[in-house]
A and B are shown apart, each in its own frame.
Chain A
Amino acid sequence: MTAVTRIDSRFKALAGEGRAALVTFITAGDPDYETSLAILKALPKAGADIVELGVPFTDAMADGPPIQAASLRALAGGQSLKKTIAMVRAFREGDNTTPIVLMGYYNPIYIYGVETFLKDAKEAGVDGLIVVDLPPEEDEELCLPAMKAGINFIRLSTPTTDDKRLPAVLKNTSGFVYYVSIAGVSGAATPEASKVTEAVARIKRHTALPIAVGFGLKTPEHARAIASGADGAVVGSALVEAVRTSLDEQGRATAGTVKAVTDLVTKLSEGVRSARRQAAE
């Protein structure tokens, strides 16, 4: 097992408060490094409990149009994995408690070099990793080395992960389990809250880890509905869309960009905080 991370501490504290976590996703470097860092720094105060920082990739196969576009904006602005790690380091100068999870695809990490990446990420203050295209069948690539380095490897469980497969998916997972609420890409269909609650209960029979739910959550009402049945609600596409709609005609950040994101996060946070917890802890 890995040592206690900021993720573990945060979920424990929230369980004490009797509420779910708001997990916010933004793409690192969208639309440029400075604006993105300003958004990142403003997220905790706006109500984000955990931050997922998307590592941009040219071929975001599991993502819908909003996150694909955010990735391409960030890459056009010169973002890289190295700069994403630097962004975490800069964030940690002012915040040593909010958990940060890097989320993305394996190739940039593979090319960076797994050992170097884990060392640099840990030193910068990264707590967890979600790598979409690394299923348990490829655990030796990054999951096992990450555990050894003291970084949580957070696995995705999906509607196609049945009871037979679930133990394999949970085996080397730590920090939390990310339940992908729909079969589909990010930012597409919105899940039915009752089905999600059922699925979360099913996963809970297999693990004591907290379960956060994402894909398709767009509004404070969605966040509230999900937060009543899970330990965390993840919102991503709606936030990168808030970035997009705040940009000027040339795709550059405006004075309203940071606020567009934090305003939505505040509303989402109110949704999560007002949820009545149904799931027994």
Chain B
Amino acid sequence: MPWLSILMGVSALGALGVAFVKNDKLAKQATLAVSLVVMVLTIVMTVQFSPNGDRFQFAETYDWIPAFGVHYAVAVDGVALVLILLSAILVPIVVLASWHDAEAGKRSVRTYFSLLLVLEAMMIGVFAATDVFLFYVFFEAMLIPMYFMIGSYGGAQRSYAAVKFLLYSLFGGLLMLVAVIALYVIAGKGTFLFPELIGAITDPTTQKWLFLGFFIAFAIKAPLWPFHTWLPDAAAQAPAGAAVLLVGVLDKVGTYGMLRFCLELFPEASKWATPVVIALAVIGIVYGAIVAIGQTDIKRLIAYTSISHFGFIAMGVFAMTQNGAAGSALYMVNHGFATGALFLIAGFLIYRRGSAFISDYGGVQKVAPILAGTFLVAGLSGLSLPGLSPFVSEFMVLLGTYEVYAVPAIIGATGVVLAAIYILWMYQRTMNGPTAESVQGMADLNSRERWVVGPLIALIIVLGFFPKPLLDVINPSVKETIHNVSVTAPASAVAKEGQ
């Protein structure tokens, strides 16, 4: 069955349908229904995936633009599969969480939900694309719905944040476009199919230039320090639901692209760039965490924690070890759920009080215990408490990195300590202490909001104890990637670091 096309088709047609529904309530319900259908279909597809079968499954390949060697080629390996699963699970949750978000905006409710479904189709497409050109098309096109979601429905600074987001990403994307063209021309294969392009570029200098074109685009998207400055603005101004998809899924395209495209298409150049990338990643881990401690705005704080987490993910990818890369892939999923929960609960909090400033809160725990409790769990998962899902992946990343680069791993580990500071301090200031006057009488999570938070918390806990099903899917395809880079944990590097 053409699973991936069905998933995209259902979301896209749903988006079209929702755009024409006149009744706002009906539009919301239809969006929720469509996204739930997509989720169920994705789960059914996931069950049929055989982890030890072919690398790429559910493959569909059709000629799209023969003149450019472009195909409509979609298929998933383990990593892409879990990321699609992440997207498909997050979207209905976000729809439910955004139930009243769009009303605060200036534009129509149905447009917002229609954009959400357009975005879902593109998120599935970008992870499923096995044609480099198709990947690029989704990579760029998905900026547009997110741009309108931030710009039309976001906070006070929304238009500034939306433009900054779009221009940063577009600039990175255009650099990548040059690399995409050059890849096609220099490889001379007359095709953009990813499997055929592996190993097509052999000249080291060419590899380095093309690597840079792709890498900078991904580093802006992820975002990696020092390309991160758009994220706090965009995430803070976006409505909570859009922020979840932005940080939880869209940014993952960057790290996914590094793992899939940078490493496999340009292995030599990736190795050449590793010291710099690892250094940037470590700086990002520490910098993001330290800056997060100093934030006064809850959403900006969460955005900075994500910059720290993306440092971990990039570090694991470029460690190029089985543990590191698999840990990173798992981290992408776990971070999506954990940060998603954090953003959404923060969004509920902000919606109640109308302020995003930490100083406007205090003692929420007494008036809204469920809200505070779930916020704590989500926060603790952010600092990688054992038993919650991010712990497993962060541990794997650190382990995988330590195998080859001990010092960066050790410095990176301090990020965990800093995470404890920013999370617990934020919790203390907002939830503990005497109940602030403005918080008096704040309602606890209502049933809709509990349906939003419940599944996320459950996933965080379950995946904390049983990461195995995901790892079983991720491991074989990461192994393939590592094999294509043909890195066998270089003993010399360990020795060098040890000195």
Question: Do A and B interact with each other, yes or no?
Answer: no
Q: Which residues of B contact A (CB under 8 A)?
A: none
